Amino acid sequence: MSLTNETIKDRLKAKFGDQVSNFEEPYGLLTFEAPKDLNLKVMQFLFDDEELRFQFLTDLTAVHYPGQPGRELAIVYHLHNLKDNIRLRFKVFTPIAQPDVFTATQLYASANWMERETYDFFGVNFVGHPNLKRILNVDEMTYFPMRKEYPLEDQTRIDKDDAMFGRGPGGQVGQGADEAKH
Amino acid sequence: MSVEHHIKLPEGSIEKTTTTLNLGPTHPATHGVFQNILELDGERIVSAEQTVGYIHRAFEKLAERRPLYQITTLTDRLNYCSSPINNMGWHLTCEKLLGVKTPKRVDYLRVIIMELSRISDHLICNSVVGVDSGAFTGFLYVMQYRELIYEIYEEVCGSRLTTNMGRIGGFERNFTNAAWEKIEKFMAEYPAVLKEFENLFTRNRIFMERTIGAGPINAERALNYGFTGPNLRAAGVDYDVRVHTPYSSYEDFEFEIPVGSTGDCYDRFLVRNGEMWQSLRIIEQAYRKIQDMKGAEADVYHADAPSYYLPPKKDVYTKMEALIWHFKIVMGETEIPPGEVYQSVEGGNGEVGYYLISDGGRTPYRLHFRRPCFIYYQAYSELTKGSMLSDAIITMSSLNLIAGEMDA
């Protein structure tokens, strides 16, 4: 019998009780949330359990929600059970002031660079990571560029006299409309 | 007593220490901009450390300011050897979020384009493995068929390398007769070329001795390292997104997944070659299916999704409705539902994933690309440890590392 979202949910509930929460199924993909100090326990359980066998880490990344005090950074794991061919997504939230989350490198070798990338762009401190340093950005960088407080350059700015790139003092590029929602 | 025992080497002499070699960032053998710091004992590799990020272009950040249709151009530049696959993957992601259902003909057209790009991707990779092992002929020979594939792209969308092909919901225009003629020419001529290409390499003793046993990985380690695509299949795991999570009507096609066993360069080569044959099979089936279509179905090349698919320019000038939609789409005024989507496609190198979070604004709240290259390149030091420098070069080319995909 192949695995269903319901079964996974029941198994997780049986093991972790109310600590795993916010079960959803957007576009059919089971999504849930766990407390951040349980992230390894949940992953280990999903990995080892004879029925679940989520042994392939598809993707690991983070999302910044500046509007949620105490839960600003979400670390998102996409796991895949290749035998039953079912995926799931689980998230842990961490305050941005102390973004410490346990590393998954002992479980998945692939997590190494993905965690480095997440650290590089969001500043998530993966506790226990063997080599947590920047990977795509320069080592000298002092901030974490994918956080929402660093907007892309405002195209309406007029302090740059750079007529070659269409940014004359008149500011001809994309006036106003761009700022409508973001 | 042998001669060696009489030679007293001074401390710190070159025979006693390992040599550090910078392979890259601009070394012709790396085929891309990334660096390997190799620690060599003679010609054996003691350790390798990779540095990536030389062409990082902050696509994920850029995407947070762009409406959905403008992100297609970013996806071109990930794996630029098979840009159309990335383009189609992105359209599929948007369609999933927006709930757009594409007609069968669009799916099949996409399948033809995606399989052509898979062939051109594998073609480059395999012929470059040949070049790195000293056989230049194959590379030059197959180039003209990659050129033919690029000409097909050109007929379909107007550009060759960074294609920006298709739109949300389908293609920007129907395939022209010239495009079909070129596809037919490709289907007719390519099998013989591929056979000859295989004859040059597959049982070539020099090639076999250079590649068998070079850079091997077993299935368990490959999975743990997050390998996908031909590199994983060469290790013996038959995971293929086209079969496991079919998209764009791949479930309608009959094809096999070639697998290897040892995961070395030779197996990777064979798997890629096998996949090219399967891609040809798929293209032929898709071509037949499209030819068999009748009536209105036979002409459709985009979904009926006026709020996301740009109307034809002719209509924009003459019809009010079309002008309104055109304006709304270009200015980003159409409704985009909030939601969270993960969509993956089988790219040239493995599972290319798009993780898109929309908060209902005109641009994505967050977009993350799962780039297969980036994930499996970290295994490189394990693959090459203890091997000869020349094996490391071949391993690099047979992994098909594309700097654009690695650095996003």
With an 8 Å Cβ cutoff, the interface of chain A facing chain B consists of 26-27, 29, 31, 55-59, 61, 63-64, 76, 78, 82, 85, 87, 89, 108-110, 112-114, 117, 121, 134-138, 145-146, 152, 177-178, 180-182
> Lowest-confidence range among A80-84, A122-126, A161-165, B379-383?
A161-165
Q: Can you tell me the mean pLDDT for A134-155? A: 86
Q: Does B317 touch chain A (CB under 8 A)?
A: no
The confidence score (pLDDT) of residue A177 equals 41
Q: Tell me the torsion sign for CA atoms B285, A85, B374, B237.
A: negative
Chains A and B form CB pairs within 8 A to the count of: 98
Contact criterion met (CB < 8 Å) for A146 and B378: no
Please, what is the average pLDDT of chain B?
A: 91
Mutate which of B68, B375, B376, B385 to disrupt the A interface (most A C-beta within 10 Å)?
A: B375
- B-chain residues near A63 (CB < 8 A): 357, 365-366
Q: Does B244 touch chain A (CB under 8 A)?
A: yes
Say yes or no to pLDDT of B251 above 50. yes
Q: Domains of chain A: which residue ranges?
A: 5-152
The confidence score (pLDDT) of residue A179 equals 42
Q: Tell me the shortest Cα–Cα distance from B244 to chain A, in angstroms.
A: 7
Say yes or no to pLDDT of A80 above 80. yes
Q: Using an 8 Å Cβ cutoff, are B398 and B268 in contact?
A: yes
Contact criterion met (CB < 8 Å) for B344 and A137: no
In chain B, which among 63-92 make CB contacts under 8 A with chain A? 64-65
Q: Can you tell me the mean pLDDT for A96-121? A: 94
Contact criterion met (CB < 8 Å) for A136 and B53: yes
Q: Tell me the shortest Cα–Cα distance from B378 to chain A, in angstroms.
A: 7
Q: Measured between alpha carbons, how far is residue B349 from residues B88, B227, B233, B276, B400 in Å?
A: 15, 9, 11, 13, 7
Q: Using an 8 Å Cβ cutoff, are B139 and B127 in contact?
A: yes
List the single residue in B with minimal CA-CA distance to A59.
B370
List the single residue in A with minimal CA-CA distance to B350.
A58
Band of pLDDT at residue A156, cut at 50, 70 and 90: low
The confidence score (pLDDT) of residue B15 equals 64
E strands, B314-387, are: 339-346, 351-358, 366-370
Mutate which of B378, B385, B407 to disrupt the A interface (most A C-beta within 10 Å)?
A: B378
pLDDT, tens digit, for every residue of B156-199? Answer: 999 999 999 999 999 999 999 999 999 999 999 999 999 999 99
> Which run of H or E residues covers position B60?
helix B59-63
Contact criterion met (CB < 8 Å) for A136 and B407: yes
Contact criterion met (CB < 8 Å) for A109 and B226: yes
Band of pLDDT at residue A181, cut at 50, 70 and 90: very low
Q: Using an 8 Å Cβ cutoff, are A21 and A32 in contact?
A: yes
Q: Measured between alpha carbons, how far is residue B263 from residues B95, B230, B267, B298 in Å?
A: 36, 10, 6, 43
> Lowest-confidence range among B221-225, B251-255, B360-364?
B360-364
Band of pLDDT at residue A160, cut at 50, 70 and 90: low
What gap in Å lies between CA A59 and CA B358, rounded to an integer? Answer: 18
pLDDT, tens digit, for every residue of B384-400? Answer: 998 999 899 899 999 99
Q: Using an 8 Å Cβ cutoff, are B398 and B269 in contact?
A: yes
Architecture of domain A5-152: 2-Layer Sandwich (3.30)
Q: Does B328 touch chain A (CB under 8 A)?
A: no
What gap in Å lies between CA B104 and CA B251, rounded to an integer? Answer: 12
- A-chain residues near B240 (CB < 8 A): none
Cα angle B301, B175, B334 (rounded to 5 degrees) comes to: 40
Residue of B60, B378, B408 lying closest to A113 (CB–CB): B378
Say yes or no to pLDDT of B317 above 70. yes
pLDDT, tens digit, for every residue of B38-47? Answer: 998 888 999 9
Band of pLDDT at residue A182, cut at 50, 70 and 90: very low
- A-chain residues near B244 (CB < 8 A): 82, 85
Cα angle B157, B162, B165 (rounded to 5 degrees) comes to: 35
Please give the share of chain B, as a percent, with pLDDT higher than 90: 71
Please name the residue that has the structure tokens 């992105």: B90
Band of pLDDT at residue B1, cut at 50, 70 and 90: very low
Mutate which of A32, A55, A117, A138 to disrupt the B interface (most B C-beta within 10 Å)?
A: A117
**Higher-confidence residue: B256 or A157?**
B256
What gap in Å lies between CA B383 and CA B47, rounded to an integer? Answer: 10
Q: Does B33 touch chain A (CB under 8 A)?
A: no
Mutate which of A29, A31, A58, A115 to disrupt the B interface (most B C-beta within 10 Å)?
A: A58
pTM over 0.95? The answer is no
The confidence score (pLDDT) of residue A178 equals 44
Spatial strand order of the sheet with A73-81 comes to A21-24, A30-34, A86-94, A73-81, A56-64
Contact criterion met (CB < 8 Å) for B344 and A29: no
Cross-strand partners of A88:
A30, A79
Residue of A109, A136, A178 lying closest to B52 (CB–CB): A136
Say yes or no to pLDDT of A180 above 50. no
Contact criterion met (CB < 8 Å) for A29 and B65: no
The confidence score (pLDDT) of residue B34 equals 86
List the single residue in B with minimal CA-CA distance to A28.
B341
List the single residue in B with minimal CA-CA distance to A144.
B61
Q: Tell me the shortest Cα–Cα distance from B340 to chain A, in angstroms.
A: 7
Q: Tell me the shortest Cα–Cα distance from A81 to chain B, in angstroms.
A: 11
B78-407 fold: Cytochrome-c3 Hydrogenase; chain B (1.10.645)
pLDDT, tens digit, for every residue of B257-271? Answer: 999 999 999 999 999
pLDDT, tens digit, for every residue of B200-213? Answer: 999 999 999 999 99
**Higher-confidence residue: A172 or A8?**
A8
Q: Tell me the shortest Cα–Cα distance from B152 to chain A, in angstroms.
A: 33
What gap in Å lies between CA A20 and CA A31, rounded to an integer? Answer: 10
Say yes or no to pLDDT of B120 above 80. yes
List the single residue in A with minimal CA-CA distance to B351.
A58
Q: Does B46 touch chain A (CB under 8 A)?
A: no
Say yes or no to pLDDT of B383 above 70. yes
Q: Tell me the torsion sign for CA atoms A67, A68, A73, A78.
A: negative
The confidence score (pLDDT) of residue B122 equals 94
What gap in Å lies between CA B380 and CA B370, rounded to an integer? Answer: 18
Helix crossing, B265-291 with B104-132: angle to 10°? Answer: 150
The confidence score (pLDDT) of residue A159 equals 65
Band of pLDDT at residue B135, cut at 50, 70 and 90: confident
Residue of A27, A108, A134 lying closest to B226 (CB–CB): A108
pLDDT, tens digit, for every residue of B80-117? Answer: 999 999 999 999 999 999 999 999 999 999 999 999 99
